[in-house]
């Protein structure tokens, strides 16, 4: 990729998390996965992203735990470096340069890991036994096992396909951690277990067959008792090792499984799915967490959009859905079911697809178009208008217009006015008409406001291609092949026509802010034109092969993507581009959007000023979401990532401090006393049962119950200690009642102070202190309940 000054094209947000196999940490609390140019560390219980390990400058191609230190992980990247991280704190420890020729003889653990990672880049399927005696690789129809001690490799080949139609191509492999057994997955869904592979001829394998199409991942559990496999069926299959007739299934995982990872203690499994999702599974029984990335299908039919309310990126997600993806938090917010029909997973079936979507300026309205074209039947079209519901915090269907046009809708936009009372939607279609839809507030038949057609327009029976409202909503430009017509939406009067033949208009865009007098268009004959609407003349035009033209809603900047993936950012009023970049990616840029920033950048360099207010995201041909980043921003991010993080995934709340420390204390006490008897859990105490099982209407007031509740938490001390500390407890109880009296007067600030004092590790002397803290907290709770 070509560097341009200090602005770089990066994967940032919405990148693939299923690109490589995820890695579960030793205590299975953290989940590491390669995501774009960073390694993401998720909490496996809360699904939250704990850190981004940033530092690589290109795609991360592999993550691996350091076998000699389970708190560290290696990552390798296409930028040619291998980095060692402390992933619990997110600190970069070491950078190693990548070299391609690694000798195999010295076999220390670190070198070994290193070797693996180097080869991961070239060979997709490669694994070693846990003892490191041999390394197995599969490619095409060949399995190769290399023994380090003997320095000898064995190669086993399968026939391409036999009479029974088996396809024997290897797709994945896994080595048994204890026995010498290699499991391989094949294209026809078979799994083979290879044994005795240190013989040229006497090797043997057994075959397991459940999957009906290619096995995409196989994995042994760390103890080697089970074998996990997954494929397109989106079912995780667990085979008992040596008792392969017994198998367990975890079905309905949502999408095809691409990778399977197992935590080192075998407690958690993690599967990566083709819809950019990670699923954390507890011992093949239940799904405990789902981490959803940006769903990327085959193509995006809708434009990339930004929801004005949530500032989320909106695009096609699951079939028939729109997904709302927060780029700042790099997390999917929610899916909006547009089609509201069951999606049938069958190839060749034509189903409703969301093809167009538009938001109005304030994000109150969302318009969507879905269509279904079956062979030899007419096109089915639905225009749906969704109103934002403040209470449910989501969009609710307001109006469905079935068959709004006779033919495919080519363009659709809302009127941009911020202050006007009426909202207007214009849709243009291949049937030669454009329609204006308006919200009608009252009707004798329907309740509440609904949308109806207000105006149908046409121009010389030409097909309208693009439509665009000016920033103040006073003008509507619609292109009819070579002709741009400008209408007044207030009176539906054709104001003027502009044309610059030859070549049909491909994109149309009004300038913003100070440049709002300009209308820009691109033509099919590689021309970028700028008309001045005041004079109704062509201001300037330039020959340029523009594939995509869009304007930044927060500034007067416009971005034009050339068909060879070049980018020009310019102001319509200025002749010189602000920024230009050749070949930002391989292939064509299909979709792009300006996403507003949460906080403005203070960059003063001219070339990067256009990135101050908003960020430009674009989708490449291979469905990678990419953006631009300035040097300053990058430095800032790097600095923040090196900051030491105090605690892990769980957020520090007063409640956490109370319960968590309490539990920890219990644990320590148990350990110290080695007592066989178990403490009564707070859940099992009489008070809690009473609280939970009594019907609400017969319960006494909450403040009364609260003291009981807290006391139930306090009593859980082992009997031995109870005896020794009985006197103390007595005095505590007196204090407690005093505290209760004060409860309402205690402020929040005090509790916060108390938490900090409670945070350090516990000695006997501090136990008393801690108990005091609990009382404090109780008061805080009761004050909450009272209110």
Partner 1 sequence: MGEFKVHRVRFFDYMPSAIRAMAFNSRTERLALSRADGALEVFNFADSYFQEKVIPGQDGRAVEALCWVRGRLFSAGLNGEITEYDLENLRPKYTMEAYGGPVWTICSNSQGTHLAIGCEDGTVKIFEVLEETIRFQRNLDRQKGRIISLSWHPSGALIAAGMMDMIKVFNAESGHATHRLLVERGVGASKSREVVVWSVAFLSDHTIISGDSAGKVQVWDGVTGTLVRTHLVTKWDVLALSVSRDESSLLAGTSEGTVVQFQFISSTVDQHDKEWVRTRTFKNHTHDVRALAHTDTAVVSGGMDTQLVVRPLLEKVEKNTQESALRKIAFPHRSLVSCGKKAGMLLFQFHGHLELWRLGESDGHGKPGDSLPVKRKPEKLIQLKRKGDDHICCSALSPCGGWLAYSTISSVRLYRLQYNGSNISITKVAKLPKVLRSAHQLCFSSDSSKLFASTTHSSVIIIALSQSECKYLHTLRPKSGTRQPVHLMSASEDGKWLATANSDCEIHVYSLHKLKLHCTVPVYSSCPTAMAIHPTTSNLVMVHADQQIFEYSLVQKEYTEWSRKLQKQGLHHLWLARDTPITHLTFNPRNPAHIIMHDTYMFCIIDQNLPLPDQKTLFYNQMTLRSLPEPERTSHSHSFKICKTFQHLLCVSLLEDHSLVVVERPLLDIASQLPAPVRQKKFAT
Alpha-carbon distance 102 to 112, whole Å?
Answer: 10
Q: Which segments within 67-148 are labelled E, that is strand?
A: 69-77, 81-86, 91-97, 126-128, 134-139, 142-147
Question: What does the block give as tokens for 93?
Answer: 């420890």
Rounded least distance, CB 191 to partner 1, Å: 13
Stretch that binds partner 1, among 114-122, 203-211, 338-346, 599-607 (CB under 8 A): 203-211
Among 135, 181, 424, 436, contact with partner 1 (rule: CB under 8 A): 181
Kindly give, in sequence order, each residue whose CB lies less than 8 Å from that of residue 50, ignoring residues fewer than 6 positions away.
30, 41, 42, 43, 90, 645, 648, 649
Stretch that binds partner 1, among 57-65, 83-91, 243-251, 428-436 (CB under 8 A): 243-251
What is the chain's Cα-based Rg? 32
Residue 246 engages partner 1 in binding (rule: CB under 8 A): yes
Stretch that binds partner 1, among 24-32, 238-246, 621-629, 652-660 (CB under 8 A): 238-246
Residue 133 engages partner 1 in binding (rule: CB under 8 A): yes
Rounded least distance, CB 102 to partner 1, Å: 24
Give 195 or 309: the residue with its C-beta nearer to partner 1.
195
Give 163 or 693: the residue with its C-beta nearer to partner 1.
163
**Site size with partner 1, rule: CB under 8 A:** 23
Residue 244 engages partner 1 in binding (rule: CB under 8 A): yes
Residue 202 engages partner 1 in binding (rule: CB under 8 A): yes
3-state secondary structure of 542: strand
Among 61, 81, 110, 198, contact with partner 1 (rule: CB under 8 A): 198
Among 98, 125, 195, 247, contact with partner 1 (rule: CB under 8 A): 195
Rounded least distance, CB 196 to partner 1, Å: 5
**433-440 sheet: strands from edge to edge:** 409-414, 424-429, 433-440, 450-458
Among 27, 179, 337, 740, contact with partner 1 (rule: CB under 8 A): 179
Among 245, 535, 683, 745, contact with partner 1 (rule: CB under 8 A): 245
Give 158 or 466: the residue with its C-beta nearer to partner 1.
158
Residue 248 engages partner 1 in binding (rule: CB under 8 A): no
Residue 207 engages partner 1 in binding (rule: CB under 8 A): yes
Alpha-carbon distance 589 to 671, whole Å?
Answer: 61
Ordered DSSP codes for 207-270: EEE--SS-EEEEEE-TTSSEEEEEETT--EEEEETTEEEEEEEE---SS-EEEEEE-TTSSEEE
**Could you tell me which residues are beta bridge partners of residue 520?**
509, 530
Give 147 or 540: the residue with its C-beta nearer to partner 1.
147
Contact 312, 324 (CB under 8 A): yes
Rounded least distance, CB 164 to partner 1, Å: 10
Rounded least distance, CB 155 to partner 1, Å: 15
Residue 617 engages partner 1 in binding (rule: CB under 8 A): no
Among 134, 437, 480, 518, contact with partner 1 (rule: CB under 8 A): 134
Among 167, 178, 311, 318, contact with partner 1 (rule: CB under 8 A): 178
Residue 162 engages partner 1 in binding (rule: CB under 8 A): no
Residue 740 engages partner 1 in binding (rule: CB under 8 A): no
Alpha-carbon distance 645 to 432, whole Å?
Answer: 60
Question: What does the block give as tokens for 378?
Answer: 């007419």
Angstrom CA distances, 335 to 295, 384, 458, stand at 10, 16, 36
Alpha-carbon distance 779 to 751, whole Å?
Answer: 9
Angstrom CA distances, 592 to 420, 547, 589, 625, stand at 29, 11, 7, 9
Side-chain half-sphere exposure of 400, counting CA atoms within 13 A: 10
The footprint of partner 1 on residues 385-444 (CB under 8 A) is none
Give 240 or 564: the residue with its C-beta nearer to partner 1.
240
Alpha-carbon distance 526 to 543, whole Å?
Answer: 6
> Among 383, 377, 374, which Cα is nearest to 339's?
383
Give 241 or 618: the residue with its C-beta nearer to partner 1.
241
Stretch that binds partner 1, among 176-184, 348-356, 606-614, 717-725 (CB under 8 A): 176-184
Residue 205 engages partner 1 in binding (rule: CB under 8 A): yes
Rounded least distance, CB 204 to partner 1, Å: 5
Give 244 or 380: the residue with its C-beta nearer to partner 1.
244
Q: Which segments within 317-408 are labelled E, that is strand?
A: 321-326, 331-337, 353-359, 365-372, 380-389, 394-402
Alpha-carbon distance 138 to 128, whole Å?
Answer: 12
Among 68, 196, 497, 694, contact with partner 1 (rule: CB under 8 A): 196
CA dihedral (443, 307, 427, 321) in degrees, to 10, reads -90
Question: What does the block give as tokens for 274?
Answer: 């083709």
Rounded least distance, CB 203 to partner 1, Å: 7
Among 26, 70, 155, 212, contact with partner 1 (rule: CB under 8 A): 212
Alpha-carbon distance 557 to 569, whole Å?
Answer: 7
Rounded least distance, CB 201 to partner 1, Å: 5
Residue 204 engages partner 1 in binding (rule: CB under 8 A): yes
Residue 206 engages partner 1 in binding (rule: CB under 8 A): yes
Strands 7-10, 625-630: pairing is antiparallel
Among 6, 180, 267, 472, contact with partner 1 (rule: CB under 8 A): 180
Contact 637, 54 (CB under 8 A): yes
Residue 645's CB is within 10 A of a number of other CB atoms, namely 12
The continuous run of DSSP H or E covering 705 comes out as helix 702-714
C-alpha dihedral sign at 726, 730, 731, 737: positive
Stretch that binds partner 1, among 112-120, 193-201, 674-682, 691-699 (CB under 8 A): 193-201
**Could you tell me which residues are beta bridge partners of residue 610?**
none
Give 203 or 343: the residue with its C-beta nearer to partner 1.
203
Rounded least distance, CB 348 to partner 1, Å: 17
Give 42 or 134: the residue with its C-beta nearer to partner 1.
134
Residue 152 engages partner 1 in binding (rule: CB under 8 A): no
Rounded least distance, CB 145 to partner 1, Å: 10
The binding site for partner 1 (CB under 8 A) comprises: 133-134, 147, 178-181, 195-196, 198, 201-207, 212, 242-246
């Amino acid at each position: 990729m070509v560097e341009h000054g200090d602005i770089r094209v990066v994967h940032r947000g919405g990148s693939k998390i299923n690109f490589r196999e995820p890695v579960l940490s030793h205590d299975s609390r953290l989940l590491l996965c390669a995501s774009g140019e960073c390694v993401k560390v998720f909490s496996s219980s809360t699904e939250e992203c704990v850190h981004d390990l940033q530092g690589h400058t290109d795609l991360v191609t592999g993550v691996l735990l350091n076998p000699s230190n389970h708190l560290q992980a290696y990552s390798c990247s296409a930028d040619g470096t291998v980095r060692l991280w402390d992933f619990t704190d997110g600190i970069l420890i070491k950078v190693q340069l990548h070299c391609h020729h690694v000798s195999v003889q010295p076999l220390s653990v670190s070198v070994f890991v290193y070797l693996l990672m180097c080869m991961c880049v070239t060979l997709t399927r490669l694994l070693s036994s846990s003892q490191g005696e041999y390394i197995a690789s599969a490619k095409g129809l060949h399995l190769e096992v290399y023994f380090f001690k003997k320095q000898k490799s064995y190669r086993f080949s399968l026939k391409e396909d036999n009479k029974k139609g088996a396809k024997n191509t290897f797709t994945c492999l896994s080595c048994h951690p204890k026995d010498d057994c290699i499991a391989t997955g094949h294209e026809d869904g078979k799994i083979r277990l290879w044994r005795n592979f240190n013989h040229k001829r006497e090797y043997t394998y057994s075959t397991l067959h459940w999957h009906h199409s290619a096995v995409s991942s196989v994995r042994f559990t760390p103890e080697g008792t089970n074998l996990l496999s997954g494929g397109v069926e989106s079912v995780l299959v667990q085979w008992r090792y040596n008792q392969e007739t017994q198998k367990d299934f975890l079905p309905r995982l949502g999408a095809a499984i691409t990778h399977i990872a197992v935590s080192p203690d075998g407690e958690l499994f993690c599967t990566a799915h083709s819809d950019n999702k990670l699923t954390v599974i507890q011992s093949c029984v239940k799904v405990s967490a789902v981490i959803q990335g940006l769903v990327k299908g085959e193509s995006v039919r809708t434009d990339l959009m930004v929801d004005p309310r949530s500032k989320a990126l909106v695009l096609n997600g699951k079939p028939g859905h729109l997904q709302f993806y927060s780029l700042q938090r790099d997390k999917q917010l929610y899916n909006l079911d547009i089609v509201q029909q069951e999606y049938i997973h069958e190839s060749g079936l034509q189903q409703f697809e969301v093809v167009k979507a538009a938001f109005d300026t304030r994000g109150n309205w969302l318009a969507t178009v879905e269509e279904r074209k079956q062979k030899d039947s007419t096109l089915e079209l639905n225009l749906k208008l969704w109103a934002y519901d403040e209470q449910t915090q989501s969009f609710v269907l307001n109006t469905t217009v079935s068959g709004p046009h006779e033919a495919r809708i080519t363009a659709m936009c809302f009127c941009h006015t911020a202050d006007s009372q009426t909202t207007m939607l214009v849709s243009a279609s291949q049937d030669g008409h454009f329609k204006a839809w308006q919200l009608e507030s009252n009707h004798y038949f329907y309740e509440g406001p609904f949308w109806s057609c207000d105006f149908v327009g046409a121009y010389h029976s030409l097909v309208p291609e693009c439509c665009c409202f000016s920033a103040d909503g006073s003008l509507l430009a619609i292109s009819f092949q070579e002709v741009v017509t400008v209408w007044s939406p207030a009176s539906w009067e054709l104001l003027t026509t502009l044309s610059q033949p030859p070549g049909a208009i491909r994109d149309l865009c009004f300038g913003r802010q100070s440049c709002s007098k300009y209308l820009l268009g691109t033509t099919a004959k590689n021309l970028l034109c700028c008309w001045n609407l005041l004079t109704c003349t062509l201001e300037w035009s330039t020959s340029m092969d523009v594939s995509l033209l869009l304007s930044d809603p927060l500034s007067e900047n416009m971005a034009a993507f050339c068909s060879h993936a070049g980018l020009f950012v310019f102001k319509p009023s200025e002749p010189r581009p602000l920024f230009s970049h050749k070949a930002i990616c391989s292939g064509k840029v299909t979709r792009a959007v300006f996403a507003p920033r949460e906080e403005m950048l203070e960059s003063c360099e001219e070339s990067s000023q256009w990135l101050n207010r908003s960020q430009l995201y674009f989708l490449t041909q291979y469905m990678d979401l990419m953006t631009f980043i300035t040097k300053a921003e990058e430095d800032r991010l790097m600095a923040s990532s090196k900051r030491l993080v105090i605690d892990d995934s769980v957020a520090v709340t007063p409640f956490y401090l109370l319960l968590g420390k309490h539990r920890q204390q219990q644990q320590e006490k148990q350990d110290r006393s080695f007592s066989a008897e178990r403490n009564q859990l707070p859940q099992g105490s009489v008070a809690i049962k009473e609280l939970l099982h009594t019907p609400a209407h017969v319960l006494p007031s909450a403040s009364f119950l609260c003291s009981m509740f807290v006391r139930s938490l306090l009593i859980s001390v082992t009997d031995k200690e109870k005896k020794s500390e009985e006197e103390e407890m007595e005095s505590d109880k007196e204090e407690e009642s005093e505290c209760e009296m004060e409860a309402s007067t205690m402020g929040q600030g005090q509790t916060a102070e108390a938490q900090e004092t409670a945070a350090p590790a516990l000695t006997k002397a501090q136990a008393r202190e801690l108990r005091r803290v609990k009382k404090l907290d109780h008061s805080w709770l009761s004050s909450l309940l009272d209110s």
